[in-house]
Amino acid sequence: MIDETFIFHGIFAVMWLEYLWESYLTYRQHQVYKTVDAVPPELADNINEETFQKSRAYALDKSYFSMVKGLYSITLSSAMVWFYLQFHFWEYSKQLLRSMSLPMNELLISCTFMIVTNSINMVVHMPLSVYTTFVLEEKHGFNKQTVGFFIKDQIKSFLVTSVIMVPLTAMAIYIIQIGGDYFFVYLWGFAMIVLLFLMTIYPDYIAPIFDKYTPLPEGELRSNIENLAQELKFPLYKLYLVEGSKRSVHSNAYFYGFFKNKRIVLFDTLLKDKSKDDDKGCENDEILAVLSHEFGHWQYNHVAKNILITQVNLFFQFFAFGFLFKYPVLYHAFNFHHEQPIIIGLIIILQFVFSPYHTITSFFMTMLSRKFEFQADFYAKSLGKAAYLKKALIKLHKDNLSFPVYDWLYSSWNHSHPPILERLEALKKDD
């Protein structure tokens, strides 16, 4: 019963079902943007009519564009499967190697295949990135990238992904080749080491390739943050400011690092720009409230919990892959009749066959993340920062021109952070 035609059609059915579901949610939210045309009473004191209408126009534009994007990407994915593009790219990679008189082994073909598909991916997604940055974000005053910065950024990210992804995937293929029946255990161990390694080197070696990180200058804010960290026994090692404003003016803050080496990064857009006379950015007390929220994530071990879930999830996927990747019908469905390259098996199984599994797990992860956000807010509140956090949330919301009202179904599916009204409501409770 489960033959290649069944798999071929099944993959299509799942792809389109997911697309229709997401489109339905986008449509629901689109109706909200269209019909809600007044500031919600909870925000009436802080957000004026003009800002609200601006945020509504921005939301509508983004919503239209996300429909176009959805249609574009489902068309591309359908074409990928329908025209056996993976198979053609694979054959093309062999040809490339042949033309350069390089040896013809699976590892080398796989590496070439990855570079070929990455390049094509970058090219087909380019129009979307260009439109997002230079039309959509530009129109609403968020884009701070010049054409030169954008091009450099794209090239850098292509090179960095290739330099990291190609050898790692080659390693994984090699482990599967030589690992025997229990290769999934070794593969899992390898994935864990890679993840921890990347998390360690990312902030110091990779992130600075893209943005400029400088120590937060001495002053009131810095000593306030250091004092708060000390009070809470947060092992603050370094305090950085990142030039987010080169990229866009959407603002944020986060912390990272293991054990005693925690670093905090503040986006310069979170801070008030003293040279400009606008009401953007937060006061020191508000920034401290935002950081108290971040300290909450640390206090409740949210990062460690997420790593643990990721690892369990990976183990399950590799284990299932260990069974499935030997079935020839899976490869036949993608027109591979004479060989079963491991990298193609990885794509077919992890990307296509597991697609419904990814959808469900990512929904649960979204739910969990919202729970974590509420916990972190609650922590900030327990430090007596509720009032400042509320102010900061509203300000950031305003600076980002976020739309405040969401369809519940759309929101529970898409938002890893609860919408502002829910957060304000939760902060208000038993005040």
Judge whether 42 is annotated as a binding position: no
Q: How far apart are CA 177 and CA 65, in angstroms?
A: 43
Handedness of CA 90, 93, 95, 97 (dihedral sign): negative
Residue with tokens 């990779």: 206
Dihedrals phi, psi of 213, to nearest 5 degrees: -110, 125
Judge whether 332 is annotated as a binding position: no
Task: Pick the closer one to Zn ion by CB: 241 or 376.
Answer: 376
Q: Which residues contact 135 (CB under 8 A, 6 or more apart)?
A: none
Which letter does DSSP use for residue 351 in this model?
I
Task: Pick the closer one to Zn ion by CB: 286 or 373.
Answer: 373
Q: How far apart are CA 136 and CA 88, in angstroms?
A: 35
Least distance in angstroms from the C-beta of 415 to Zn ion: 12
Task: Pick the closer one to Zn ion by CB: 142 or 379.
Answer: 379
Is 61 considered catalytic here? no
Least distance in angstroms from the C-beta of 417 to Zn ion: 7
Judge whether 297 is annotated as a binding position: yes
Cβ 376 vs Cβ 294: under 8 Å? yes
Handedness of CA 78, 84, 86, 88 (dihedral sign): negative
Task: Pick the closer one to Zn ion by CB: 373 or 407.
Answer: 373
Task: Pick the closer one to Zn ion by CB: 113 or 295.
Answer: 295
Catalytic-labelled residue, pool 22, 377, 399, 422: 377
Mark 313-339 as b/e (b = at least 16 C-beta within 10 Å).
Answer: ebbebbebbbeebebeebbbbbbbeee
Binding mask 24-53 for Zn ion (x = CB under 5 A): ------------------------------
Least distance in angstroms from the C-beta of 416 to Zn ion: 9
Binding mask 318-357 for Zn ion (x = CB under 5 A): ----------------------------------------
Cβ 134 vs Cβ 143: under 8 Å? yes
**Contacting range for Zn ion; rule: CB under 5 A; set: 16-24, 39-47, 283-291, 366-374:** 366-374
Cβ 418 vs Cβ 374: under 8 Å? yes
| Helices 386-399, 420-428: crossing angle, 10 deg rounding | 170
Least distance in angstroms from the C-beta of 376 to Zn ion: 5
Q: How far apart are CA 367 and CA 369, in angstroms?
A: 5
**Contacting range for Zn ion; rule: CB under 5 A; set: 90-98, 242-250, 346-354, 365-373:** 365-373
Least distance in angstroms from the C-beta of 197 to Zn ion: 25
Least distance in angstroms from the C-beta of 302 to Zn ion: 8
Residues near Zn ion (CB under 5 A), total = 2
Task: Pick the closer one to Zn ion by CB: 296 or 341.
Answer: 296
Sheet holding 236-242, edge to edge: 213-215, 236-242, 262-267, 253-256
Which letter does DSSP use for residue 308 in this model?
H
Q: Which two tokens stand for residue 151?
A: 């091009």
Q: Which residues contact 233 (CB under 8 A, 6 or more apart)?
A: none
Catalytic-labelled residue, pool 22, 153, 286, 294: 294
Strand-strand pairing, 262-267 and 253-256: antiparallel
Least distance in angstroms from the C-beta of 296 to Zn ion: 8
Task: Pick the closer one to Zn ion by CB: 97 or 392.
Answer: 392
Is 220 considered catalytic here? no
Binding mask 368-407 for Zn ion (x = CB under 5 A): -----x--x-------------------------------
Whose CA is closest to 392, among 372, 420, 426, 425?
420
Positions that interact with Zn ion (CB under 5 A): 373, 376
Query: Which residue numbers belong to the known binding site?
Result: 293, 297, 373
Query: Which residue numbers belong to the known binding site for Zn(2+)?
Result: 293, 297, 373
Q: Mind telling me the catalytic residues? A: 294, 377
